[in-house]
Chains A and B, each alone.
Chain A
Amino acid sequence: MPSSISPSQSKARPASSPGLPLSVEGVDLRFGGIHALKNVSFSARAGEITAVIGPNGAGKTSVFNTISGFYRPAAGAVRLGDEDITRVPVSARARRGLARTFQNIALFHGLSVLENIKLGGHHHMRAGVLPALAFSRSAREEELALREEVERKVIDFLQIDHIRHATVDVLPYGLQKRVELARALAMRPRVLLLDEPVAGMNREETEDMARFILDVQEEWGVTVLLVEHDMGMVMDISSHVVVLNFGQVIAAGTPAEVRAHPQVIEAYLGAESVTQ
């Protein structure tokens, strides 16, 4: 296993470590004849909430999958902090502090809530016999203790203590979304990607989730980048909004600026006002 963790990201990184900036620079992505992303550039500022919005098929999920490492862009770069991670494999990005949730909840079926959450901390521990020998006993115990503390904190924070031993399959949708967020937080991320965190939720669940996301950003200092269809929620919690259309960035700025942008009003809302 590669162990290219820079000193600043040591194993004992506190849960409250400040977020890293994330930037996408001139990314071009093609699938055969389809030009999914055209020269896309934007950045998510450290410790702030940035939203990527756009109509269906605008390329939002493609951007996320490029950042996660599922897609290799034809041109351009993805930068996490000072490091170019464009060619870094998916699992190694997690070790650099990148965590994500999925649009269609990707919890592990048959595993309990706690087991799912524990898997979030997995990358902090080396698996296998040889690395275990190299990894001293005290460091191992220290890491285990820290992980348990983080897991407790996360469970407490997201108020899922009462379901910790339940199998994830039996939980209602809103709670599953929360467990997935908990698992991402257990990774002690520096950048958190949320793919449609409130999709399919009712008003009340949406408000709960919005509050959790704000708390994550405020209390944990994590950089948050989210893709979302719920405009009200996006405008409420984001400090920065990036608008995609047909694979291109057509506007970026504060919610107020984006809301007033003529091209956004036309492309995204079919020439109707966003202010409702």
Chain B
Amino acid sequence: MIEFLEYSVLGLLGGGVIALIALSFVLVYKSTGVVNFAVGEVMMLGAYLYYAASVSFAVPPWVAFAMSLAVISLLAMLVERTVLRPLSGQPTVAVMMATIGMASIMHGSIEAIWGGDTYQPPALLPRTPLLIGDIMIPGAVLGNFAIAALLITGFLLFFRYSRTGVALRATASDPVTAATLGININFAARLTWMLAGSVGTVAGVLISSSAGLSPLFASAALSVFAAIILGGMDSILGAIVASLILGLVESLAAGYLGGKSRDIVPYLVVLAILVIRPYGIFGTRTIERL
């Protein structure tokens, strides 16, 4: 029983970080309709930048973190302006291919600069573990979850209540009408990409500071695609719930069936759910299937 509780708690906490990556994806899909396959690479690049600043240039961790956020935001802005905006109105597949291309470029650049070694970026948060009864929760897991939860709550409130958040939702649902109301839709797209890049960077820094960093890191985002499809591609809430489910299933599978099963079981669960609800748990029925 204790074992089950421990696996469950750790799984749910781990799901919080997966939810951050999912949020990065859903933000872009929901407001610009772009299926961003570079989500893992953005996360990885953010983590490498953090590593480079904090270790290679010996900048304090929080400053390094801020620097990598700034660089990724800037890059996101640039990519939106030079790649995605000229492609707007093109078929979904063309835009998707562009994001896959950008993913390759990022991946290649990272390997060229940092090689294939595994690095250990410094932790942002103290690592004191927490003991609840007989369950021990590592400090990194708890801290990562806390940051993810704060950030996600912030985003939900921002989209629900702030004027800019509502304007972003409006632009997502009908850009033409939004423009006639005076909403600058180019600005909305730019802001969305910057926010998505920043959220991805936070996820990358959090995960890499506890799990290490290598060019294989981007594949962590693969399980996120399962979460996104499970939650419904255009639902932030769905992405969060699905990420938690996925974290839970992964952790239980690894605990009871052995480490390798964590790569298989979650996909089986996703498959099973999709047979029943093809548009995801919370997704809109009309979404484009890939």
Residues of A that sit less than 8 Å from B by CB: 1, 68, 70, 89-95, 99-100, 102, 106, 108-111, 115, 118-120, 122-125, 127-128, 183, 187
A selection of 27 A-B contacts at a CB cut-off of 8 Å is A70-B176, A89-B179, A91-B180, A91-B182, A91-B185, A92-B182, A94-B179, A94-B182, A106-B177, A108-B173, A108-B174, A108-B177, A110-B169, A111-B166, A111-B169, A111-B170, A115-B166, A119-B166, A119-B167, A119-B170, A119-B178, A120-B181, A122-B167, A122-B183, A124-B182, A187-B181, A187-B182
Do B164 and A119 touch (CB < 8 A)?
no
B163 within 8 A of A: yes
Contact of B184 with A by CB under 8 A: yes
B173/A123 in contact, CB under 8 A:
no
Are B170 and A94 in contact, CB atoms less than 8 angstroms apart?
no
- Sorting the interface of chain B by its residue count into under 10, 10 to 19, 20 to 34 or 35 or more gives 20 to 34
CA separation between A92 and B169, bound complex, in Å? Answer: 20
Q: Is there a chain A Cβ closer than 8 Å to B191's Cβ?
A: yes
**Structural contact, A118 and B179, CB atoms closer than 8 A:** no
| Shortest distance between the CB of A12 and any CB in chain B (Å) | 16
Residues of chain B within 8 A (CB-CB) of A68 are: 180
With the chains together, A188 CA to B163 CA distance in Å?
17
- For B181, B183, B191, the residue with the greatest tally of chain A CB atoms inside 10 Å of its CB is B181
Q: Which residue of A lies closest to B185 (CB)?
A: A91
Contact call B174/A122, Cβ cutoff below 8 A: no
CA A125 – CA B182 in complex, angstroms?
A: 10
CA distance A128 to B173 in the complex (A): 20
- Do the beta carbons of B176 and A122 come within 8 Å of each other? no
Which 5 A-B pairs have CB atoms at the shortest separation, nearest pair first?
A123-B182, A94-B182, A106-B177, A90-B179, A127-B164
Instruction: Identify which of A100, A110, A115, A118 contacts B180 (C-beta below 8 A).
Output: A100
Q: CB of B187 within 8 A of chain A?
A: yes
Task: Tell me whether B177 and A99 are in contact (CB under 8 A).
Answer: no
Given contacts A1-B187, A123-B182, A123-B183, contact A118 B177 (CB under 8 A): no
